[in-house]
Amino acid sequence: MAPKKKKTPKTEQTKLHGVINGAGEVVEQPIVSAIRENFMPYAMSVILSRAIPEIDGFKPSHRKLLFTMYKMGLLKGSRTKSANIVGATMKLNPHGESAIYDTMVRMSRGYEALLHPYVDSKGNFGKFYSRDMAWAASRYTEAKLAPICDELFCDIDKDTVDFADNYDNTMKEPTLLPATFPSVLVNANTGIAVGMASNICSFNLREICETTAALIRDPSHDIKSTLPAPDFTGGCQILYDEKAINQVYETGRGSIRLRARYSYDKAQNCIDILSIPATTNCEVIIERIIDLVKQGKIKEISDVRDETGLHGLKITVDLKRGVNPEMLMAKLYKLTTLEDSYACNFNVLIGGTPMVLGVRALIEEWTAFRMECVRRRTFFDRQKKAERLHLLEGLAKILLDIDKAIKIIRETEAEAEVVPNLMIGFGIDKIQAEYVAEIKLRHLNREYILKRTQDIEQLKKEISALDDILKSKARIKTIIVKELKAVAEKYGQPRQSVIIYEDTSVYVEEAEAVPDYPCTFFFTREGYFKKITPKSLRMSGAHKHKDGDEIRQEIEYTNNCDLLFFTDKAQVYKVKANDFGNGKASELGDYIPAKLGMDEGENAVCMVATKDYSGMLVFAYENGKAAKVNLDLYATKNNRKKLTGACSDKAALVDVLFIPEDCELQFTASSGRVLLVNSGDITLKATRTTQGINVMKLKKGQTLQDVEKYKENTFANPRRYRAKTLPALGAFLSAEDKGEEQLSLI
């Protein structure tokens, strides 16, 4: 008989099978602490290290790429393959070659997204104004730094900015670039972080440099006198709005209207669109024009095509004979993104803190940053000159007796004693003695030493001048102003965007001729709608409905009117009656929630037809309250299809009644009680969301079930159901009103 196997203890089995105790358990954790420990670090990382630019005008991804190209010698050298640049940048930016290459493309001259590109590119880099024009792979394109980058890296090796370790602590990278001009405002920058975003428009380099210099000299300088408006690449037009410009300049937020630029070719009878707003692209515009032509809203165009080529953007629109090009363009500006808004949000990291600043505040922050860069550069130069002076002063003492120096070196037995003996012999310190000891034998002559010591007085003057700069903020500001003028002179370009101070292109939408004829509207409880003409109605039989459905409302009106559908979600949907086709009684009709795009689970409660929005509405709620408002509260100047806050949402809506004037209303509760109320007793309110007044008293568990206009002679004794004051209970129907016969004794 085989011996029994010894059972492994449960704890040992757990260890043998590699199972961790407690694995798979669901541990409750407060949502607040989970967000704080997991989401907040991610959000802060995106804000501080990815999406929001800093005062030098760059995000970390931009800065890492440009610094890598600078260290590769691409500022002065020839172009190299983009793949080489991408690979080298991964030492600083480990987010993958695709992300790095995309960053380089957007900063390139070929992509044309920046007023002053930082990357001098060769090859296909796509175009910012085309969605479908893809750029070539990095192995096919070449790039180097543009000449303007010399202003970004000027004196970066003179301790002008701080350096930090890269992600694996093998290299150093700058935390900021010491740009000699306000690059944060010169080139457009967009970023979306967590809970915030940044969208900085571009300004003309020459105008920005002049404005910054003027603000340094005079803090109360009028910015608009030297910086009239932003400047966008591509040369689109800017519709000048002084209020909007002031808002952007003061707060850093606002909207600027941009418009495409075009020319009319009379010989070919076509419009050539030569620039578009920076917020759109060619494909979106062409697709929208085609869609408008198909809808019949634009009938003046025979063809539209994209003719963008080597000479730049060009969209050609062929016109039909006799079309006025200016009126057509005014129409296209209105209906397409050929005219669009640029939403400004000047959100910048200042000392690690996101701040939304206006133009003046941003220039002041940049000036403070640049002053610190100049001060650090000046201090670095001063230190280097002081070290040089110190060495030359030691060398000058050797000039007094060269033979003595040679004798000391010759008679010193140990090499380690040479420096100490020179220090003792000439009264110099260790650094000076080391410098003297390293001089070659051929240089130990009077001529060499005299030439070197002639610079002592010049160095003293230069050090004194640098000390004066370090002590004076005014001197530092003067240096910055000179640098700004040099940058404007060297790299300044004329404005690309034309400012339009008076808009003469105005499109007035022509009202479509809508045929007006009598018709009857039917609305069922399930939400189906029919529009039937009198002739069709006379020839029709019974109405077709879904099982259990019935007609809720029947309104005789005309085709040229507005229809308002009130829903159980306190919303109203507006639609033109002529948007519905003429139907028949034998059809189900249009399902309103689907036709009007209502929210999921939303149902229409009532339909109102009107032309002039005169009259009143009465809203009845399950809690026994009723509210009365004027119908004109729902009139809008534009063609809005949906209005939220149509009525109160504090209680369930029972019904909505349209009344041209005050009349008697019949309220019915779930208990069977009936109350007659004159609508004049319900106070007229000025807001749509009013809860109204208590009309019918309800006991626990009871609700208001129905409200309708009272029809004369409905009740034998109407006074039975009226009340002197509101709210009231109402009364149960009498036997006579119920239609029951009275029993009598014979």
Residue 160 sits in a domain whose CATH number is 3.90.199.10
Query: For position 581, what pLDDT does the model report?
Result: 87
Same domain, 579 and 684: yes
CA distance 284 to 130: 9
Residues 555 and 685 in one domain: yes
Question: Read out DSSP for 153-175?
Answer: STTGGGT-S-EEE-TTSSSEEES
Tokens 């109402």 sit at which residue? 730
* DSSP output for 714-738: SSS-GGGGB-SSSSB--BPPPHHHH
What would the pLDDT profile of 193-231 be if each residue is shown by its tens digit?
A: 988 999 999 999 999 999 999 999 999 999 999 999 999
Ranking 52-61, 165-174, 508-517 by mean pLDDT, the lowest is 508-517
Q: Are residues 321 and 389 in the same domain?
A: no
In three-state secondary structure terms, 635 is coil
CA nearest to 625, candidates 568, 673, 567, 694: 694
Per-residue model confidence (pLDDT) at position 47? 87
Q: Is the pLDDT of residue 443 over 80?
A: no
Using pLDDT thresholds of 50, 70 and 90, give the confidence band for residue 510: low
Average pLDDT score over residue span 34-47 = 84
Please report whether residue 185 resides in a domain: no
pLDDT tens sequence across 384-431: 999 999 988 888 888 778 888 888 888 888 888 889 988 988 889 999
Specify the amino acid at residue 264.
Y
SS3 content of the chain, % helix, strand, coil (to 5): 35, 20, 40
Tell me phi and psi for residue 649, to 5 degrees: -110, 20
Q: What are phi and psi of 65, to 5 degrees?
A: -65, -50
Take residue 469 and report the two structure tokens written for it.
């700069």
Q: Does residue 49 have a pLDDT over 90?
A: no
Cβ burial of 692 (10 Å; 0-12, 13-18, 19+) is buried
Distance CA 211, CA 681 (A): 67
523/653 same-domain check: yes
Does 720 lie in the same domain as 600?
yes
Of 339-348, 402-411, 613-622, least confident by mean pLDDT is 402-411
By mean pLDDT, which of 23-32, 144-153, 454-463, 556-565 is the weakest? Answer: 23-32
Domain ends where: 321, 337, 353? 337
pLDDT value at 27 more than 90: no
Which active-site residues does the annotation give? 140
Pair 55, 367: CB distance under 8 Å: no
Task: Clarify whether residues 707 and 588 are in a common domain.
Answer: yes
- Is the pLDDT at 359 greater than 70? The verdict is yes
Pairing mode, if any, of strands 347-350 and 353-356? Answer: antiparallel
Percentage with pLDDT > 70 across the chain: 94
Q: Is the pLDDT of residue 116 over 60?
A: yes
Count of residues making up the chain = 746
730 within domain boundaries:
yes
Q: Could you give the percent of the chain with pLDDT greater than 90?
A: 63
pLDDT value at residue 15: 44
For residue 745, pLDDT over 70 is answered with: no
Residues 703 and 557 in one domain: yes
By CB atoms closer than 10 A (0-12, 13-18, 19+), residue 153 is buried
Residue 619's pLDDT band (cuts 50, 70, 90): very high
Q: Which domain holds residue 682?
A: 518-738
Give the per-residue pLDDT at 505.
67
Instruction: Report if residue 646 sits inside a domain.
Output: yes
Res 147 pLDDT > 90: yes
CA distances to 176, 549, 617, 620, 634 from 572, rounded to whole Å, are 54, 22, 13, 16, 9
Angle, CA of 726, 729 and 734, to the nearest 5°? 125
Q: How sure is the predictor about 36, in pLDDT bands with cuts at 50, 70 and 90?
A: confident
Please tell me whether residues 646 and 563 are part of one structural domain.
yes
In this structure, is residue 586 part of a structural domain?
yes
Task: Verify that 595 and 727 share a domain, yes or no.
Answer: yes
Q: Inform me whether the pLDDT recorded for 87 exceeds 80.
A: yes
Digit-coded pLDDT (tens) for 240-272: 999 999 999 999 999 999 999 999 999 999 999
pLDDT reported for residue 10: 47
Does the pLDDT at position 513 exceed 90? no
Residue 144 belongs to some domain of the structure = yes
From the list 692, 514, 507, 673, the residue with the least C-alpha distance to 617 is: 692
* Domain end point (choices 448, 472, 491): 491
Whether 703 is in a domain gets the answer: yes
Q: What is the pLDDT, as a whole number, of residue 225? A: 94
pLDDT for 442 beyond 90: no
Is the distance from CB of 577 to CB of 520 less than 8 angstroms? Answer: no
Residues 546 and 672 in one domain: yes
Q: Are residues 333 and 370 in the same domain?
A: no
Alpha helices in 583-726 (DSSP H): 592-595
- Which CATH number does the domain housing residue 295 bear? 3.30.1360.40
Nearest to 557 by CA among 529, 526, 519: 519
- Give pairs for 446-449: CB < 8 Å, separation 24+: 446/399, 446/402, 449/395, 449/396, 449/398, 449/399, 449/402
Place of tokens 């303007």: 148
**Per the structure block, which two tokens stand in for 338?**
């050929």
Question: Mind listing the pLDDT tens digit for each residue in 531-555?
Answer: 999 988 888 888 888 888 899 999 9
> Which sign, positive or negative, has the C-alpha torsion 326, 327, 333, 336?
negative
Position 12 scores a pLDDT of 46
Residue 508 has pLDDT above 60, yes or no: no
Tell me the pLDDT tens digit for each residue of 117-134.
999 999 999 999 998 888
Tell whether 629 and 560 lie within a shared domain: yes
CA–CA separation, 673 and 657 (whole Å): 20
- pLDDT bucket at 450, cuts 50 / 70 / 90: confident
Q: How sure is the predictor about 13, in pLDDT bands with cuts at 50, 70 and 90?
A: very low
Lowest mean pLDDT among 14-28, 133-147, 198-212, 379-393: 14-28
Give the pLDDT band (50/70/90) at residue 296: confident
The domain that holds 668 is classified in CATH as: 2.120.10.90
Burial 633-642 (b: 16+ CB within 10 A, else e): ebeeeeeeee
Residue 557 lies inside a defined structural domain of this protein: yes
> Hey, is 617 helix, strand or coil?
strand
Residue 284 backbone class (left: φ over 0; alpha: ψ -120 to 50; beta: rest): alpha
CB 44, CB 170: distance < 8 Å: no
pTM: 0.69
What pLDDT band is residue 304 in, cutting at 50, 70 and 90? very high
One DSSP character per residue, 212-228 reads HHHHHH-TT--HHHH--
Mean pLDDT of 61-76: 95
437 has a pLDDT exceeding 90: no
pLDDT at 20: 61
**Closest among 332, 275, 276 to 299, alpha carbons compared:** 332
Q: Say which residues have a Cβ less than 8 Å from residue 728's Cβ, sequence separation at least 6.
A: 675, 695, 696, 697
The per-residue pLDDT for 23 is 65
pLDDT digit string, tens, across residues 707-724: 999 988 888 888 888 888
- Residue 709 included in any domain: yes
How many beta carbons lie within 10 A of that of residue 716, not counting itself?
10
Instruction: Choose one of 117, 150, 179: the last residue of a domain.
Output: 179
Structural domain total, the chain: 4
